[in-house]
Amino acid sequence: MNDLLENIYQFSIAVLLLCSVISVRLLKNLKRERKLSYFEYTMYLIIRIAVLLWLASFLLIHYGA
């Protein structure tokens, strides 16, 4: 049971990261066409920072530092 929950957790993280990357790409393309609204720009920054923080923490946890 614990392995199943761990697999579901890992899958959900992968899906969230994929959605985050797609959202950043869409906002980046939208940024080229027009100026982003305050909400869109804030979302763009928060998603990018969150992905970078997740990546840094993942590397530190799995590969130690």
Cβ pair 20, 51 in contact under 8 A:
yes
pLDDT, one tens digit for every residue, the chain (65 residues):
778 888 898 899 999 999 999 999 999 999 999 999 999 999 999 999 999 998 899 889 888 86
Q: Note the pLDDT of residue 65.
A: 61
Q: Note the pLDDT of residue 53.
A: 92
Q: Note the pLDDT of residue 12.
A: 92
Dig out the tokens for 55 from the structure: 């990546």
Type of residue found at 22: I
Distance in angstroms (rounded) separating the CA atoms of residues 43 and 36? 10
Type of residue found at 6: E
Distance in angstroms (rounded) separating the CA atoms of residues 25 and 31? 10
Please tell me the total number of residues recorded for the chain in this structure: 65
What is the pTM (predicted TM-score) of this model? 0.78
